[in-house]
Structure 1
Amino acid sequence: MLLENQVCFEVHAAARALDGLYRRLLRDLGLTYPQYLAMMVLWEREPVTVKELGAALRLDSGTLSPLLKRLEAQGLVRRERSASDERSVLVRLTPGGAGLRARAEEIPARVAAATGLGLEELVGLRDTLRRLTASLDGAVRTAAAEDGDRAGTAR
C-alpha cells in the first residue's frame, strides 16, 4: 500500500504535470486545456453535434455546456440547432476559431519535447494508455452489469 508503488498515483501525477505544462502553453491562446481539446476536435472535423463532441472528449453535458458557452463568448465557436433534427445542436468554428489553429499547431511538438521521451516511446505510451482506458472502461461496465444483476436478484 505504498503510494510510490501505485500506478493510479503515477497516472494522476503525470496528468497534473501535463495540465501544468498545457496551462502555460495555452495561456497565449486564451484557452484552457479542456477548451483546447474541444477545439482540436473541431479543427479535425466540424461541424459536430454537442453529443458527438461530448463523446469524443468523454465529458458530460454539465461540463461541456459551460465550456462551449465560454468558447462562444470568446468568438471561437457558434452553436446552432440542426436543420435536420431540431433536438440536435451543432457546434461550428467561427473564422476566429478556425484561425486559432495556426497558432496552436506548435503545441504538440512542444509538449512532446517537454516529455523527454522519443517518438517511439511516446507512441508506445499513448497506445498503452489507450489499452489501459479500454480495459478500465470494460471493468466499469462489467461491475455496473454485476451491480444491476445483484439489484435485480435482491428484489
Structure 2
Amino acid sequence: MRHSDREQLSVELFGQLVRAVHVISQSGARELRSEGLTPAQYKTLAMVAARPEMQQSDLSDALGVTKGNISMLVARLEADGLLSRTPSGAAYLLRLTPDGRDLVKRLRPQHARFMAACFSPLTEGELETLRGLLSRLEADRP
C-alpha cells in the first residue's frame, strides 16, 4: 500500500470510528436522559461505585477532563443527592449516597444490555479482535 493510500484509509477509518462512537453515544444519552442523567454523570457515578472514596482529582484524570469540569459535574450530582464529597486535606473524597448506589445498581445491568446490543453485529471473535486493535491504537499513539 502506498503512503498516500495509507493516509487516506487512516482518515476514512477515523471518520468511521467517530461516526460509530457518535451513534452509540447519542443512543446511550437518550437512554440516560430518561433517568435524568447525562452520560458523563452516569460514568462518574459508575466510577465512584467501583472505587469508593475516590479523590476528585483522580476522577478528573480517569475521565480525561479538566478539574473545573469535574467540579461542576460533582456539584450537580451532589445537589441531586447522588454523590457526596468530603474534604480530605487538599483533596475531596467522593462517595455515592444510598440513592446514588441504588441508581447505579439499577442502571448497570441496563447499560450492559445496551452496550451488548450496540455491538451485537460483531461475533465474539470480532469483539476480541476489535479490543486488541483499539488497545494497540491507544498504546502506540504519536
**Which ranges in structure 1 are unaligned for 5 or more consecutive residues?**
140-155
**Which ranges in structure 2 are unaligned for 5 or more consecutive residues?**
1-6
1:118 paired residue number? 123
* One-letter amino acid of the counterpart of residue 127, structure 2: L
CA distance in 2, matches of 1:120, 1:27: 33
2:4 paired residue number? none
TM-score computed with the length of structure 1 as normaliser: 0.76
- Is 1:43 the counterpart of 2:49? The answer is yes
User: The residue matched to 1:78 in structure 2 has which SS?
Assistant: strand
2:140 paired residue number? 135
CA distance in 2, matches of 1:112, 1:28: 19
Query: How far is 1:76 from its partner?
Result: 0.6
CA distance in 2, matches of 1:127, 1:40: 24
Residue-pair matches, total: 134
Contact 2:84 2:96 in 1 (8 A): yes
Contact 1:21 1:111 in 2 (8 A): no
Query: How far is 1:127 from its partner?
Result: 3.4
Residue deviations 1:11-37 (CA, integer Å, cap 9, x gap):
211111111111122123221111111
Contact 1:47 1:92 in 2 (8 A): yes
1:18 paired residue number? 24
The verdict on how the C-alpha distance between 1:74 and 1:108 changes in structure 2, with shifts beyond 3 A counting, is: same
1:90 paired residue number? 93
TM-score computed with the length of structure 2 as normaliser: 0.82
Over the aligned positions, Cα root-mean-square deviation in angstroms equals 2.1
For residues 26-41 of structure 1, the aligned pairs below 5 Å read: 26-41=32-47
The verdict on how the C-alpha distance between 1:131 and 1:39 changes in structure 2, with shifts beyond 3 A counting, is: farther
CA distance in 1, matches of 2:27, 2:55: 29
Contact 2:41 2:77 in 1 (8 A): yes
Larger Rg: 1
User: The residue matched to 1:29 in structure 2 has which SS?
Assistant: coil
1:9 paired residue number? 15
CA distance in 2, matches of 1:10, 1:31: 27
- Is 1:62 the counterpart of 2:65? The answer is no
The verdict on how the C-alpha distance between 1:5 and 1:55 changes in structure 2, with shifts beyond 3 A counting, is: closer
